Structure 1
Amino acid sequence: MSRSSLPPIEPTKTAAGIALDPRTLERVIPESKRSDGSVRKQLKIRPGFTPQEDVRLFRGTKQTQMEANALPKGHIIGWTPPPSKEAEPSKPMSKSAKKNAKRREKKAEEKEPAVKDNWEDDDDEAPATPAIPAASPSSKQTAHSADSAAPDPKADATTAEALSSKMEKLDVS
């Protein structure tokens, strides 16, 4: 006896819960347990009977063809994804092409966005000198210790003047 002739151990059920009994090959609703622990009996289904849950909607030939050719949800007609950069340089670049590519990269590095996308990115681009809080009277002591532990001893005079003018504006007595 080959394995393909045997019915499956866990038969597939229809929407109404009807399954094929593996022993008798009849259509049945298998026995199940209720929430109180009692068991429902297995119910036999008459041959040819189809419950309302299992009845499919009628689809004409044009409807089925339209559904088969339908675009996926959210698809934009005519849109194609941009080509990957790996596919572009298939042949080696000439000297002038390499030079132009370097120029483009340099130009892109020099150009900075006028409006930042995320305010939290400002923390990543902090100045070389540490920011000094001026909220409490003990902040003067921390400012002195921060100056002594500055990593760059050759600080620009203009940066120092700008920082001192900002501190004067922030200092509240």
Structure 2
Amino acid sequence: MSLPPIDPAKTAAGIALDPQTLERVIPESRRPDGTVRKQIKIRPGFTPQEDVRRFRGTKQAQQDANALPKGHIIGWAPPPTSQASGSATKPLSKSAKKNAKRREKKEDKKETVADNWEEDDEVSSTPAGTASPDSATEQKKAPRSSSGSAHTPENPNWAAAVSETSLTAKLEQLDVK
């Protein structure tokens, strides 16, 4: 036989089950002036007003049982715990396949842009003050536009129409200390 709890659970009115007699009682307590209140026995079947629950019909009780927790967002589901096993068993939908292809294309584009940056660094490796005429012609040969076509009188490309000779002249004028 287990020992009774030291501080038995109390109702809202302060009623607890007496561990020795198994009767419902309000246990003795101490007043602010130091005197002790006697333990009060509660008649069987009596429920004080504080312990009376609010009446809920069957439909209301069912709604309360099915209610979402406080702060829950409708339609939100927590992410699955095992993503690897779930994705292996399910085939991708059309939209998921499209999105995957788009991501791959985007990554490929990023890689090609990085390659172009590296090529630009190799071309302009000479210092600005010591630009030789050969390096200026190399810069003219390497197109700077992302479309790959340079601006020529026969094939005008107004996006790349910035005069490269004026750019080199401006670069030569800059004096980096």
Question: If the TM-score is normalised by the length of the shorter chain, which range does it land in?
Answer: 0.3 to 0.5
Greater share of helix residues, 1 or 2?
A: 2
Higher-Rg structure is: 2
What TM-score, normalized by structure 2, do the two folds share?
Answer: 0.45
What TM-score, normalized by structure 1, do the two folds share?
Answer: 0.46
